[in-house]
Amino acid sequence: MTAQQPSAKRPPIALTCGEPAGVGPELAIKAAHLMQGRVPFFWIGDPRHLPVGTPFAEITDPAQTYDVPTGILPVLCHEFVAPAEPGEANLNNAQGVIDVIARAAELVQSGHASAMCTAPINKKILKDGADFAYPGHTEFLAHLGGTDHVVMMLACPELRVVPTTIHIALADVPAQFTPDLLEQTIRITAADLARHWGITAPRIAIAGLNPHAGEGGAMGHEELDWMIPLLNKLRAQGFDLKGPMPPDTMFHSKARKAYDVAICAYHDQALIPIKTIDFDGGVNVTLGLPFIRTSPDHGTAMDIAGQGIANPTSLIAALNMAWDMATRSAPNISA
Ligand SMILES: NC(=O)c1ccc[n+]([C@@H]2O[C@H](COP(=O)([O-])OP(=O)(O)OC[C@H]3O[C@@H](n4cnc5c(N)ncnc54)[C@H](O)[C@@H]3O)[C@@H](O)[C@H]2O)c1
Ligand SMILES: N[C@H](C(=O)O)[C@H](O)COP(=O)(O)O
C-alpha cells in the first residue's frame, strides 16, 4: 500500500461522523476504500462507532492524513459518551455529534482543513438529547461562520436547486418567504456559482409560490404583489432571471436545460425533484459561508444502518465537490 498523494499538500477535508447509529460511520470506511486517496480526508468521530473489524488509522493532526496508506480511513478521535448500536439512536451521544460538527468547522476556519463534509444527523435526536437549537447543519454552520444568511443548494449533474425558506413548517412559508429573503438568496446563489463553479452569469429560474405561479392572480397573489416587481428590479441590475415559473412544469428534462439553478420557495418544492432525479448522486452544499461545506443528500438511513448495504455514492460526490471547490478557491499551500 502507498501513502496518500504527498504532492497534494492542501489541507485535507474534515468529514464529520454524523449520527453514530446511522449509516455515516460505515459510509466513511467505504468512501476511503473506494476513493483510494484521490481526495484526502479524515474522519472525526469515535472509533468505537466504526464497523467492527474494519481498518482505520488513528491520527492526532489533520496533516497526518497524508501519512495514512490509501484506502484506509484516517481517524481524528473524538470520544463519545457511549458506543453506538446501528439503528438505535442514543440521546446520550447527541452532544458529541454537535461537538464534532463544531470541531470540524473550527479546523476548517483555522486552515487545518480545506473544507468540511458532514455525514447526516437526526435533528430531533440532537434536540431531545442536547437541546440543539438549530433545525439543521445549515443554520448551525451559519451561526458558527458568523453569517446572517446562508443558502442551501443541492446539486447533481442534471440539476441544481435552492430552497429559499429551509427547515420550517409549510404553514410558516407564506410569511417567511419575503422579498428580502428571496433577493438575498438570489444574490448569494449567483455570487457563489461564479466563485466556485465559474458560472459568471448564471441563468436562474425562480419558482412561483402558488400553483401555476398564481395564474395571473387566480390562484394566489404573491407573484403579482412582489415577486414580479422584485425580479424586474434585479433584471435591471443584470441578473438573468426566469419566472416566476409554474413549479410543476419547470423540472422536466427539456425545461432544466434552460437554467443553471432553480430557486424555489420552500424545502420540498426544491428537494423533491432533485432527490427523485438523482438520490444517489446528489450533494448538499451550503453557499454564503466563509468556508466550504458539503454533505450527501440523504439522511441517517437508520433502517439499513449496520447492514453494509448503504450506498456511498452521494458521500463520495460530496467529498469530490468539496475538494474541487477548495482547489479552485485557494492556492496550494505548498506553492
Ligand atoms: N445532511 C443531513 O444531516 C440530513 C439530510 C437528510 C435527512 N437527514 C435526517 O435523516 C433522518 C432520516 O430522514 P429520511 O428517512 O427522510 O431520509 P433518509 O435519506 O435517511 O432515508 C430515506 C430512504 O432512503 C434510504 N437511504 C438513505 N441513504 C441511503 C444510502 N446511502 N444508501 C442506500 N439507501 C439509502 C433509506 O434506507 C430510506 O429507505 C431524519 O432525521 C432527517 O432529518 C439528515
Ligand atoms: N434539508 C436537507 C435534506 O432534506 O436533504 C437536510 O435536512 C440536511 O440539512 P442540513 O444540511 O442543514 O443538515
Q: Which ligand is nearest to the CA of 141?
A: 2
Say which range, 92-96, 211-215, 304-308, 327-331, has the weakest mean pLDDT. 327-331
Alpha carbon distance 273, 251 (integer Å): 7
Residue 140 has pLDDT above 50, yes or no: yes
Determine the angle formed by the axes of helices 179-197 and 313-329, rounding to 10 degrees. Answer: 80
ipTM score above 0.90: yes
Amino acid at 234: L
Which pLDDT band holds residue 333 (cuts at 50, 70, 90)?
very low
pLDDT at 88: 94
Secondary structure (3-state) at 65? helix
CB 189 within 8 A of CB 263: yes
**89 C-alpha to ligand 2 centroid (Å):** 18
Q: Does the CA dihedral 108-112-114-118 come out positive or negative?
A: negative
Alpha carbon distance 294, 119 (integer Å): 9
DSSP alpha helix (H) spans, the chain: 24-35, 94-109, 123-130, 137-145, 173-176, 179-197, 222, 228-236, 253-256, 267-278, 313-329
Residue 1 has pLDDT above 70, yes or no: no
Mean pLDDT for all residues in the chain: 94
Please write the tens of the pLDDT for every residue from 101-125: 999 999 999 999 999 999 999 999 9
* Ligand 1 contact via 137 beta carbon (within 6 Å): yes
* Ligand 1 contact via 310 beta carbon (within 6 Å): yes
Judged on CB neighbours under 10 Å (0-12, 13-18, 19+), 131 is exposed
* Ligand 1 contact via 16 beta carbon (within 6 Å): no
Cell of 186: 438570489
pLDDT at 330: 57
Identify which has the larger pLDDT, 33 or 7.
33
Please indicate if the annotation marks 143 as binding a ligand.
no
Judged on CB neighbours under 10 Å (0-12, 13-18, 19+), 7 is exposed
Are β-strands 283-287 and 203-207 bridged in parallel, bridged antiparallel, or unpaired? unpaired
pLDDT at 153: 98
Please write the tens of the pLDDT for every residue from 249-294: 999 999 999 999 999 999 999 999 999 999 999 999 999 999 999 9
* Ligand 1 contact via 123 beta carbon (within 6 Å): yes
Residue 143 has pLDDT above 50, yes or no: yes
Secondary structure (3-state) at 203? strand
Same fold, 1-147+290-335 and 151-288: yes
Cell of 165: 425558506
Residue 20 has pLDDT above 70, yes or no: yes
* Ligand 1 contact via 148 beta carbon (within 6 Å): no
Alpha carbon distance 169, 105 (integer Å): 28
**19 C-alpha to ligand 1 centroid (Å):** 11
pLDDT at 7: 44
* Ligand 2 contact via 119 beta carbon (within 6 Å): no
Please write the tens of the pLDDT for every residue from 144-195: 999 989 999 999 999 999 999 999 999 999 999 999 999 999 999 999 999 9
Amino acid at 166: I
pLDDT at 334: 38
CB 46 within 8 A of CB 17: yes
* Ligand 1 contact via 299 beta carbon (within 6 Å): yes
**24 C-alpha to ligand 1 centroid (Å):** 10
In this prediction, residues 11-27 reach a mean pLDDT of: 97
Q: 151-288: which CATH topology?
A: Isopropylmalate Dehydrogenase (3.40.718)
In this prediction, residues 196-209 reach a mean pLDDT of: 96
Cell of 113: 482543513
Please indicate if the annotation marks 212 as binding a ligand.
yes
- Domain locations in the chain as residue ranges: 1-147+290-335, 151-288
Please indicate if the annotation marks 298 as binding a ligand.
no
Cell of 169: 413548517
Percent share of the chain, pLDDT over 70: 96
Alpha carbon distance 89, 319 (integer Å): 25
* Ligand 1 contact via 31 beta carbon (within 6 Å): no
pLDDT at 161: 98
Pick the atom of ligand 2 nearest to 121's CA.
13
**286 C-alpha to ligand 2 centroid (Å):** 10
* Ligand 1 contact via 298 beta carbon (within 6 Å): yes
Q: Which ligand is nearest to the CA of 296?
A: 1
Pick the atom of ligand 2 nearest to 135's CA.
12
Are β-strands 293-296 and 115-117 bridged in parallel, bridged antiparallel, or unpaired? parallel
**66 C-alpha to ligand 2 centroid (Å):** 30
Pick the atom of ligand 2 nearest to 299's CA.
5
pLDDT at 329: 75
For domain 1-147+290-335, which CATH number applies: 3.40.50.620, 3.40.718.10, 1.10.645.10, 3.40.50.300? Answer: 3.40.718.10
Peptide bond preceding 244: is omega within 30 degrees of 0, i.e. cis?
A: yes
CA 204 to chain centre: 20
Residue 8 has pLDDT above 80, yes or no: no
